[in-house]
Amino acid sequence: MWRWLHPYAKGEATYRLLGHWLPWLAISAALSLLVGIVWGLAFAPPDYQQGDSYRIIYIHVPAAIFSMGAYTGMAITALIALVWQIRTAEWAIAAIAPVGAVLTAVSLFTGAVWGKPMWGTWWEWDARLTSQLILLFLYLGVLALYYAFDDKRTGAKAAGILALVGVVNVPIIHYSVYWWNTLHQGATITKFEKPSMATSMLIPLLICLLGFALFTAAMICWRLRHEILRQELHRPWVQQELIGQEKLN
Query: What is the b/e burial string over 230-245, where b = at least 16 CB atoms within 10 angstroms of the residue's CB?
Result: ebbeeeeebbebeeee
Binding flags for other proteins, 14-53, as an x/- string (CB under 8 A): -----------------------x---xxxxxx----xxx
Site membership for other proteins, residue 113 (CB under 8 A): yes
Between 161 and 203, name the residue whose CB sits nearer to other proteins.
203
Site membership for other proteins, residue 64 (CB under 8 A): no
Q: Are 156 and 94 in contact (CB under 8 A)?
A: yes
Binding flags for other proteins, 209-238, as an x/- string (CB under 8 A): ------x---x--xx--x--xx--xx---x
**Secondary structure class of 47 (helix, strand, coil):** strand
Between 5 and 236, name the residue whose CB sits nearer to other proteins.
236
Q: Give the DSSP per-residue string, 81-127.
A: HHHH--HHHHHHHHHHHHHHHHHHHHHHHHHHHHHHHHHS-S----H
Shortest reach from residue 193's CB to other proteins, in Å: 27
Q: How far apart are CA 246 and CA 57, in angstroms?
A: 50
Among 93, 106, 167, 214, binds other proteins (CB under 8 A): 106
The footprint of other proteins on this chain (CB under 8 A) covers a number of residues equal to 39
Q: Are 164 and 96 in contact (CB under 8 A)?
A: no
Q: Are 87 and 230 in contact (CB under 8 A)?
A: no
Between 168 and 242, name the residue whose CB sits nearer to other proteins.
242
Q: Are 183 and 126 in contact (CB under 8 A)?
A: yes
Interacting residues toward other proteins by CB under 8 A: 37, 41-46, 51-53, 55-56, 59-60, 63, 98-99, 102, 105-106, 109-110, 113-114, 116-117, 215, 219, 222-223, 226, 229-230, 233-234, 238-239, 242-243
